[in-house]
Amino acid sequence: MAASTLTEVARLAGVSPATASRVLNGSARKPGKDIAERVRQAADSLGYIPNAQAQGLAKSSSGLIGLIVHDIADPYFAAIARGVQDEAREQRRMVLLATTGGAPAEEREAVAAFAARRADSIVIAGSRSSRTEDRDDNAELAAELDRYCRNGGQVAVVGHPVVGATVTEGYHVVAVPNQELAGALAAELASRWDGDFVIIGGPDGLFTSDDRIRGFQEGLATAGRPPAEVLRTAFNRSGGYDAGLELAARIKAGRSGDGEASARKLCIFAVNDVMAIGASAALRAEGLRIPRDATIAGFDDIETLRDFRPALSTVRLPLEEIGRLATRATGRTAGGSEDLDDGEPGPVSGEVTLRRSTEAVA
């Protein structure tokens, strides 16, 4: 037994499919009140559910919005996804999910899949990368996106534009001031801290990571500090853990050592909270304590991690709002009375949040 169709409803109500269609959807012209009622009754007596595929085919628009993330279980992406989902719900659209692990090749695939499903818009939340190994894939991704836009699709990217995209129409970027905020964080830390700084960063070429590193270094420079050493590692908890082990070894060596300058307490900046937590875990595992033996700060202010102790200093990012903004940027319904012609989403703002993990301790 298949789902009942509009034609069946029409027949039962004794009208033409066209009329039934007009009743059951917000068509421009309104049918007679009496007839409308008959149709509606027929519809739910049959448990009629419109076939969105057919509707989509006919109107060529699907009410679908595609969301691309690295990993939906990563709280950073999960938070953004929540924002996207919320906004989509308000716009009465549905979210299609794709996870790519950050590989541009898979992102390209995802875009193609969304295009195939005729998604009205696509939100890309994962960080862009400029690693040379990804160059070709990035080019293909850009091409795929261009095509998608040229066919009328709307794209919003969180953070950085996709490398090599050439189309401008329908292409939006939700700018995240990673660099400025990292700079502000560095400034704050430098002002209450006279030890050395170390940065735990993601792989070279990851924009988000690179921006935060650059900003932090600038902040240090402005404060008259020398640039911090940068440890490159994976952009996740285990990367943070590895780097943490490395640092723990150094700290211990410096401590038991000959009392050189290296014995000054280290302030660690991990380019995201999850990495910072990993690093903290490693330090702890090596018997070091925060903020006693070293201090540490992260970035993002992930909600789930706020109960950690010592509380993690970080930069608060309105992740949910970012998701919402990205979605909204792609969702302008035609014919708004607004004067502003769908201006780009205002740059989001973050906030340096110092907590216990970077407190100076006697």
Partner DNA sequence: CTGTTAGCGCCTTCAA
Partner DNA sequence: TTGAAGGCGCTAACAG
List residues binding its own copies (CB under 8 A): 1-3, 47, 49-54, 56-57, 60, 62, 67, 71-75, 78-79, 81-82, 85, 89, 94-99, 112-113, 115-118, 147, 150-152, 237, 274, 277-278, 280-281, 284, 303-305, 307-309, 320
Residue 154 interacting partner from its own copies, DNA, none (CB closer than 5 to 8 Å by kind): none
Do residues 132 and 163 lie in contact, with contact meaning Cβ atoms separated by under 8 Å? Answer: no
- Closer CB to its own copies, 95 or 230, in the complex: 95
Based on the shown chain and the rule CB under 7 A, indicate whether residue 117 belongs to the binding site for DNA: no
Rounded to a whole number of angstroms, the minimum distance from the CB of residue 62 to DNA is 12
Q: Cα-flanking dihedrals φ and ψ of residue 141, to 5°? A: -60, -45
Structure tokens at 317: 């990012």
Q: For residue 4, how far is the Cα from the chain centroid? A: 39
Q: How far apart are CA 209 and CA 30, in angstroms?
A: 55
CB contact at 8 A, 95 and 88? yes
Nearer to its own copies by C-beta: 72 or 187?
72
Smaller CB separation from its own copies, 110 or 184 = 110
- Provide the b/e sequence for 179-210 (b: ≥16 CB within 10 Å): bbbbbbbbbbbbeebeebbbbbbbeebbbbbb
**C-alpha neighbours within 13 Å on the C-beta side of residue 104:** 24
- Is residue 269 within 8 A of residue 227, CB to CB? The reply is no
Contact predicate 119/97, CB 8 Å: no
Closest CB to DNA among residues 104, 153: 153
Please say whether the beta carbons of 270 and 198 come within 8 A. no
- Map the footprint of DNA across residues 40-69, applying CB under 7 A: 48, 50-51, 54-55, 57-60
Between 18 and 249, name the residue whose CB sits nearer to DNA: 18
- Residue 35 near DNA by CB under 7 A: yes
CA atoms within 13 A on the CB side of 331: 23
Residue 39 or 182 having the CB closest to its own copies: 39
Applying the rule CB under 7 A, the residues between 2 and 31 that interact with DNA are 2-3, 5-7, 14-19, 21-22, 24-25, 27, 29-31
Q: Select from its own copies, DNA, none the partner in contact with residue 113, using the beta carbon and a kind-dependent cut-off of 5 to 8 Å.
A: its own copies
Q: Tell the smallest beta-carbon distance from residue 151 to DNA (Å).
A: 10
CA distance 172 to 153: 11
3-class secondary structure per residue, 29-45: CCCCHHHHHHHHHHHHH
The helices-and-strands tally (H runs, E runs) of the chain is 12, 11
In the complex, least distance from residue 185 CB atom to DNA, rounded to whole angstroms: 50
307/339 with CB nearer its own copies: 307
Reduced to 3 states, what is the DSSP secondary structure of residue 353? strand
Q: Which does 75 bind (CB under 5 to 8 A by kind): its own copies, DNA, none?
A: its own copies
The whole-angstrom separation of Cα 13 and Cα 11 is: 5
Residue 1 interacting partner from DNA, its own copies, none (CB closer than 5 to 8 Å by kind): its own copies
Question: Which residue's CB is nearer to DNA, number 24 or number 322?
Answer: 24
Binding-site partner at residue 315 among its own copies, DNA, none, CB < 5 to 8 Å by type: none
Tell me, what amino acid is at 4?
S
Q: How far is the CB of 10 from DNA (least distance, A)?
A: 8
Judged by the rule CB under 7 A, the positions of this chain that interact with DNA are 2-3, 5-7, 14-19, 21-22, 24-25, 27, 29-32, 35, 48, 50-51, 54-55, 57-60
